[in-house]
Amino acid sequence: MNEHLEPIFRIFLTGLEESEIDYWVYGGIAVAALVGRFIRKNGNRDVDIFVKEIEMDNVRSILESRCYDQDLIWNECRPFKKDGFSRRKLEVRRGRDELLSIVPVFLTTSEAILVFRNGAKKYSKDILKRVERKISGNVFYTSSDTFIRKIFKDTFRGKRNWRKRSEIMEDAKTALTPEEFRQYFQQ
C-alpha cells in the first residue's frame, strides 16, 4: 500500500542516519507507529520529518546527492513566516507527488518549537528523545507516543476541511482518546 515511500525509508532516512543527523517522523506515519502498522485505508502520501534547524543545510546536501541517483527531485520551498519564525521546508518529489517533507525544529534554551500553518507550537525538549519504530520492515525514529499525539492535536484542525478528510479521521481514531474523537468529529 505504501510502496511508493520505500525510497524515503531506504535511501533518505538511512542517509540521515549515516550522516549522524537526528530526525523525527511526525504526522500520519508517526500516528501509524503508535499501533505498529499503516492504518490509512488509502495509504499515506508522504513522510513528514523534522530535524534540528542547524542541520537543514546538511540535510539539503544529502537530498541533492541522493535524489540525483533516483527518479526523484528535491525542492526548497519559499520560507513560511509565522509567529516571528521563518520556517524553511525541503521536499522530495516524484513528479507532482510529495514523498518527503522536512521542516526544522527551532531550539531555545528550554523549548523546542515547531512552526505549522496554524502557528508556532512550543514543546519541551523531551520531544527530541528518539524512539525507534518499525512498520512493514521500515525502521525509523519518532518522538514518544505522548508527543506524537500532542503534535497531531496541535495541527489537525489547522488543515483545510479537516472534518471531511478521511485520512485525518483515520489518524484521529488512533491519536485521540475516544472522548476527544467524539468532541471533534461527532458534534
The fold of 3-185 is Beta Polymerase; domain 2 (3.30.460)
Query: Mean pLDDT per 10-residue run, the chain (187 residues)?
Result: 89 96 98 95 94 97 86 92 94 93 97 95 98 96 98 89 89 94 85
d(CA 135, CA 112): 27
pTM for this one?
A: 0.94
The domain spans of the chain are 3-185
CA 109 to chain centre: 23
d(CA 13, CA 33): 16
